[in-house]
Chains A and B, each alone.
Chain A
């Protein structure tokens, strides 16, 4: 039998020789999509980091040389106008108070400040930060609606004197755009961060004032600093804000940047007190409008509003993305830590129980066993695999090789061995599940062991594997599979992964009675259990996982026997590994979906469904899918947060993994030397693994057809065995 195209035999009935996967019409686009996704995420994180720039309170910073600041400005009033190229300053009229609030809006304190102002019928000037305006535009809108004045206090509150010209312009233009979007007005007023009285204006900041003038903005300083940022007490704030001898004053207060309860209380006291003294309250425009033209807010243009809208929503989305990533990081952290603790507890307990002198599965099992070896083009490895199986110490081993229409002489290779207890059956190509079903049907014995054709077992592996069948409730047994080809780093990485997986995860699953997979490389089955499960299905690409779940649901126990050891050949290139894991991930998802009804069923099926499936879904799919968050935030931390903190956090995760690996290696009595590759595994292998999972999930969502892909064998494990 075979498949023919154009007079040429291109393959057998199942294993059609298709072109190398990976260059499909969509494969190039897939990477472009991934690139665009990364670009968008990087943009959002950068915007979030920019909008979240940490800043120090306004009081910080020493005064530098003041030689270039005109004396008239230094000794003048708090409003400095350089818009027409000339520098003019204006003083507040006597018995006039201009209340100014910096650093807002804040969702907690700004409304309280507005309420106090409303209560006393006073209008003030708010110098808002652009990033805060983007987050809480509704308060800026309220300020304008209630007759207050809004000025710019830059977008991220940097010391503008330390920034280049374009950054200075960007800070001011972005803040004006955000105000335009929030309240529909433009403002000509600016207060420089870290500025105070005009007398402290130094050369560096004078150039910023002049630059602001070039952008049609008037700089507003203060006469009295309430020093409310230091929270000195209500009376002290009132005292500091009060001008001397009936003079007018621009009063500096803050409606954000910390606990402003004292500011709110002081304001409630200050306004009536000053009114009693004959003062009036005004905005900057109200106080200086007569002496300085064009201080009133104007109507924002449509363009300004659109520009502001884009900025405001970019900040909102970036903030949301950042918050989501931190929440996911927290979730991943909790799940990882919880899983590690549970793994440690259960695995150590499991190992102790198994190592106890009193531990026994029951009377020794010496029943004959049929070992089924499905093989498709396994000429390089089949001889070593079959020889190791046929010469095992278990009495009555029958090795049944099911040749799935190989065309490389696999069957002949086995026949040439001339081993008496080995049978070769050639079946029409139907895939691994069909070959195994044929093996189950043709097996002479009731105890079955399924072994991959690239796997070499230890002499006592089969005997040890079937011992759990002393318990009549046991339907299937998972063996302990190790990677045989560890010469390359990719093999070492997989070796670490296998040792952890088989010595921690499987012990945990065994204890919780929810073993998800009897590995295809080495698994023991009671024939009745396989039949109860309906045999092996071709519905999924992970037929071993599918069969294991079906056996659970049929009411059989599935256990782990760590002393039954086999060495298998792992993929030795990244491409081959990708293909194998892609199939495994996709197959596991298929198997979980196929057995989803177990969640609501009664009896053993329901017990497995409610205990096992959520556990497997959480730790085999959800947690690995969320794992990229760790790396994304590690990179983010290196660029935008404290690098030392980010590095320490990343190293903490590594330490958890190292400790986990050491425990697993100790439990399996494996030498610790390969663990040198563990830090490198965190930089390449882990990322590849979750990309594979994302790829598999995308294929499942799109409904793409994923075929069995035969891996190329190097024959390394087989060569070592012979």
Chain B
């Protein structure tokens, strides 16, 4: 941190050290420091993390297609439910009219 009254420097990180040497090397400064904790916690990266295939956004991805099928399933279920409801109501309507006539 910059102390009060100190002149601002062009490279604020220049005051930092790597080992014994003063360094302005951003990469070195950003490099992970050895942990001070006794025990390692968390989950380690997979060993082939550096060679994982990069998944670029597919420029020609098919439009409207939902490969998971979730959208279609939801829509179909909604339509089935609505049609069933309408059919039940229609059946009730005709039945009630038939009862009225009888």
Interface of A toward B, CB cutoff 8 Å: 26, 33, 36-37, 40, 43, 166, 169-170, 173-174, 177, 306-307, 310-311, 314, 433, 537-540, 586, 589-590, 593-594, 699-705
Contact = CB atoms under 8 A, between A and B. Distances in A.
Contacts, number: 78
B11 interface: no
Contacts of B97: 170, 173-174, 307, 311
Given A169-B101, A177-B100, A40 B63 contact: no
Contacts of B61: 539
Q: Name, among A166, A537, A593, A703, the residue most crowded by chain B CB atoms within 10 Å (CB to CB).
A: A703
Given A36-B87, A314-B93, A705 B65 contact: yes
Given A40-B86, A169-B100, A700 B93 contact: no
A699 B89 CA distance: 28
B100 A173 contact: yes
A590 B63 contact: yes
Q: Name, among B79, B83, B86, B100, the residue most crowded by chain A CB atoms within 10 Å (CB to CB).
A: B100
Given A310-B92, A702-B71, A37 B83 contact: yes
Q: Name, among B61, B64, B90, the residue most crowded by chain A CB atoms within 10 Å (CB to CB).
A: B64
A586 B71 CA distance: 17
B87 A705 contact: no
A interface SS class: helix
A703 B83 contact: no
Interface in B42-93: 59-67, 69, 71-72, 75-76, 79, 83, 86-87, 89-90, 92-93
Contacts of A539: 59-63
Contacts of A538: 60, 62
What 4 pairs between A and B have smallest CB-CB spacing? A703-B66, A702-B72, A173-B100, A590-B63
Given A173-B100, A174-B100, A177-B100, A702 B87 contact: no
21 contacts: A33-B79, A33-B83, A36-B87, A37-B83, A40-B90, A166-B101, A170-B97, A170-B100, A177-B96, A177-B100, A307-B100, A310-B93, A314-B93, A537-B60, A540-B62, A540-B63, A593-B63, A702-B71, A702-B72, A702-B76, A705-B67
A306 B96 contact: yes
A306 B89 CA distance: 11
B101 A170 contact: yes
Contacts of B92: 310
A644 to B, nearest CB: 31
A706 to B, nearest CB: 8
A53 to B, nearest CB: 16
Given A703-B72, A704-B65, A40 B96 contact: no
Contacts of B65: 703-705
Given A40-B86, A705-B62, 6 more contacts: A33-B79, A36-B83, A307-B97, A310-B93, A586-B64, A702-B71
B93 to A, nearest CB: 5
A364 to B, nearest CB: 38
Contacts of B83: 33, 36-37, 40
B64 A593 contact: yes
A185 to B, nearest CB: 17
Nearest to A699: B64
B40 to A, nearest CB: 44
B101 A173 contact: yes
A33 B61 CA distance: 30
Contacts of A704: 65, 72
A289 to B, nearest CB: 27
Nearest to B100: A173
Nearest to B69: A703
A193 to B, nearest CB: 19
Contacts of A177: 96, 100
Nearest to A700: B64
A9 to B, nearest CB: 25
B38 to A, nearest CB: 52
A700 B72 CA distance: 9
Nearest to A47: B93
Q: Name, among A537, A538, A539, the residue most crowded by chain B CB atoms within 10 Å (CB to CB).
A: A539
A393 to B, nearest CB: 37
A539 B65 CA distance: 10
A310 B59 CA distance: 53
B82 to A, nearest CB: 10
Q: Name, among A177, A700, A701, the residue most crowded by chain B CB atoms within 10 Å (CB to CB).
A: A701
Contacts of B101: 166, 169-170, 173
A43 B72 contact: no
A587 to B, nearest CB: 9
Contacts of B75: 701-702
A360 B93 CA distance: 69
A586 B63 CA distance: 10
Nearest to B72: A702
Nearest to A593: B63
Q: Name, among A37, A40, A433, A594, the residue most crowded by chain B CB atoms within 10 Å (CB to CB).
A: A40
A515 to B, nearest CB: 21
A702 B68 CA distance: 11
Contacts of B90: 40, 43
A24 to B, nearest CB: 12
Contacts of A586: 64
A306 B96 CA distance: 9
Contacts of B62: 538-540, 590, 705
Nearest to B99: A307
A310 B89 contact: yes
Nearest to B64: A700
Contacts of A703: 64-67, 69, 71-72
